[in-house]
Amino acid sequence: MTSVAEGAGDVQVKPKADKKAVDLTSGELPNIDASQITVTASQIDVDVSFRRSRTEGNGPTDAAGRAAFLDAVRRSLHLGDRVVVVSPSLSGQFSIPLLLQQPSWLAGYVPVAPVGTEQITPTNAAEIKVPTVIVYGSKDHGLGESSERVLSQIGGSSVVVVPGGGHPAYLHNPTLWHRVLYNFARRLQPAA
């Protein structure tokens, strides 16, 4: 696992323990047309029927149902066979069960101080083979730090601590956030 910690004004990459540091925080970002990444409400509407037909109340109530819901979202949005799941905070109740199932389409995982990490044990963490970059804010001393302690047990995971960031760390440094996502996705691309 590698970590990124705050330094003298810049983010520095520091290896944890004897691991090699992977810098996900530097480099140029491409110009991306926002229309390429916008998901419309009409696309999401397809998934509401899945939720209502298979669950009661406000959504799936068990881990298997929550993982199945994310798979239904992936299929209804035609996201393909290699998907990176970005999971801030409360969405961890959906993404952690999915991570533990490790479906073949899950190409990467980016948790941002998620809930639900109590489902991860040292034993099942050792079995997780999904590339993971853990993100949290340096000011998130609650859920951010506790989820990092658990998720960093995943072999090969990287940790990015957003300097000055709180619980929604991506809001406190959007440029760093986008750079981390972009660099992580580039690392996941299959060799041509």
Cα separation, 192 vs 81, whole angstroms: 17
Side-chain half-sphere CA neighbours of 143 within 13 A:
17
The one catalytic residue among 3, 91, 167, 172: 167
Predicted local confidence at residue 21, as pLDDT: 52
User: For residue 112, what is the domain's CATH number?
Assistant: 3.40.50.1820
Active-site residue flag, 178: no
**Is pTM beyond 0.95 here?**
no
Please report the pLDDT score of residue 22 as a whole number.
58
67, part of any domain: no
User: Is there a domain that residue 51 lies in?
Assistant: no
Inside any domain, residue 73: no
8-state DSSP, 117: G
Beta partners for residue 110, in sequence order = 86
CB half-sphere exposure, 6, CA atoms < 13 A: 11
One digit per residue, pLDDT tens: the chain, 192 residues? Answer: 444 444 434 443 444 444 445 566 776 666 655 444 444 444 444 444 444 444 445 567 889 999 998 998 899 888 889 999 999 999 999 999 999 999 999 999 999 999 999 999 999 999 999 999 999 999 999 999 999 999 999 998 999 999 999 999 999 999 999 999 999 998 887 765
Q: Is residue 64 part of a domain?
A: no
Single out the catalytic residue among 3, 87, 89, 95. 89
Q: What residues make up the domain containing 152?
A: 2-28+83-188
Q: Is residue 114 part of a domain?
A: yes
Q: Is 167 a catalytic residue?
A: yes
Residue 60: its pLDDT value, please?
76
**Known catalytic membership, residue 49:** no
pLDDT score, position 189: 78
Provide the pLDDT for residue 51: 44
Q: Structure tokens of 78?
A: 């035609």
Which pLDDT score is estimated for 76?
87
Kindly name the residue from 140, 147, 157, 158 that is annotated as catalytic.
Answer: 140
Q: Interior CA angle at 130 toward 159 and 32, to 5°?
A: 70
Provide the domain count of the chain.
Answer: 1
- Residue 110 domain-assigned? yes
Q: Is residue 137 part of a domain?
A: yes
For the chain, the first-to-last Cα distance in angstroms comes to: 26
Residue 46 in domain: no
